[in-house]
Structure 1
Amino acid sequence: MERNILLCCGAGMSSGFLASSTEKAAIETGLDYNVSAKSQSVALEEMPDFDAVLLGPHFANSVDEFEEVREDTGCDTIIAVIPREIYGNVDGKALLGFIKELLGD
């Protein structure tokens, strides 16, 4: 099953490296995960198009804003904060495991 995952940080740049690493790990394990990274403002607009939106740890205080948008749009997108250790180490394999757990895959 194809899954669309969005990583969100301030400008989308630091999460871009993590998105690439995670998508590579997904390909290596045979999972059909499309992982992209965008800035917070774009992520809020495009959230309904994704199965999960994962916020950088420095945006943990934005969870409520994302949940509000989810409620307003009626989408069932999962919203979570990327664990600090995974984010700091740009550990795509660990983030893949975290995503799989969130999605129940």
Structure 2
Amino acid sequence: MDKMFIMLCCGAGMSSGFLANQARKAAKKRKLDTTIEARSHTDVSGYLSSISILMLGPHYGGELSKWKSLCDPYNVPVVVIPQDIYAQLNGDALIQLALDTLGK
């Protein structure tokens, strides 16, 4: 499997940062070659050419079409992180969602 670069996006990158930490631990347990970063919504555009998937915080669900429009030219899928995964900081479920979305 190729290296995955998973980008989590929220307002300031703070709350998603906690989830990113849990996802890194889960990816390590699964022996996956991944980079997982949490960024503010204002920083994401600088990464579009290098990320594998963009995962939005649940509070950005209403902006999904906007983000898809930005990511489509780079063939980067965009998903909204389900509230239960986000609230529970469930890194393993986040990794599984990314793998399922990417068809891996």
Structure 1: state its 5+ residue gaps.
none
Task: Give the Cα separation in 2 of the matches to 1:69 and 1:97.
Answer: 24
C-alpha distance in 2 between matches for 1:57 and 1:48: 23
**Fraction of identical pairs, as percent:** 34
Alignment of 1:60-99 (within 5 A): 60-71=61-72, 74-99=73-98
Cα drift, residue 41 of structure 1 = 1.1
Letter in 2 for 1:79: V
Kept after mapping to 2: 8 A contact 1:44/1:66:
no
Higher helix proportion? 1
Could you tell me whether the CA contact under 8 Å between 1:56 and 1:87 is conserved in 2? yes
CA distance in 2, matches of 1:63, 1:49: 20
Question: Once superposed, what is the RMSD of the aligned Cα atoms?
Answer: 1.1
| Structure 2 alignment gaps of length 5 or more | none
TM-score w.r.t. length of structure 2: 0.93
Aligned length in residues: 103
Deviation at 1:62?
A: 1.6
